[in-house]
Amino acid sequence: SQQGEEDPQALSIQEGENATMNCSYKTSINNLQWYRQNSGRGLVHLILIRSNEREKHSGRLRVTLDTSKKSSSLLITASRAADTASYFCATDAAGGYNKLIFGAGTRLAVHP
């Protein structure tokens, strides 16, 4: 079963705008990861935030984690058409062999 939920399910923005995606989860975690998927195939790891971290940056990506609310957000700044993809959060549950439990994803469309 899915660990969490993501919102929005779909997001459509113009190039240059910021995109924010949210993720909620249910159980205790070791870390939370964000992945990108193009064209419904392989996933690419974007960023990992540990349970004792609150915010992390990587290039145009900013991830926040609130363990008290069991939620995370991914912000993509200054979006580009090439950012068009589906974005998934995945939780690495405590004691779970590092298997990932994925949310349903957010489909992001960035228009030129």
Partner 1 sequence: GAGVSQSPSNKVTEKGKDVELRCDPISGHTALYWYRQSLGQGLEFLIYFQGNSAPDKSGLPSDRFSAERTGGSVSTLTIQRTQQEDSAVYLCASRAGGVREQYFGPGTRLTVT
The region of 11-19, 40-48, 55-63, 68-76 touching partner 1 under the rule CB under 8 A is 40-48
The region of 12-20, 61-69, 72-80, 90-98 touching partner 1 under the rule CB under 8 A is 90-98
Using alpha carbons, list the distances in angstroms from residue 29 to 39, 47, 55, 65.
Answer: 29, 15, 16, 11
- In the set 69, 82, 98, 112, which binds partner 1 (CB under 8 A)? 98
Using alpha carbons, list the distances in angstroms from residue 35 to 45, 52, 68, 100.
Answer: 5, 20, 23, 11
- In the set 13, 61, 75, 104, which binds partner 1 (CB under 8 A)? 104
Taking the CB of residue 51, how many other CB atoms lie within 10 A of it?
Answer: 14
Give the whole-angstrom CA distance, residue 17 versus residue 35: 20
Q: How far is the CB of 97 from partner 1 (least distance, A)?
A: 5
Cα–Cα nearest to 3, from 90, 68, 67, 99: 90
Q: Helix (H, G, I), strand (E, B), or coil: what is residue 81?
A: helix
Site for partner 1 in 44-73 (CB under 8 A): 44-45, 48
- In the set 11, 33, 76, 84, which binds partner 1 (CB under 8 A)? 33
For partner 1, the binding residues (CB under 8 A) are 2, 30-31, 33, 35, 40-45, 48, 88, 90, 92, 96-105
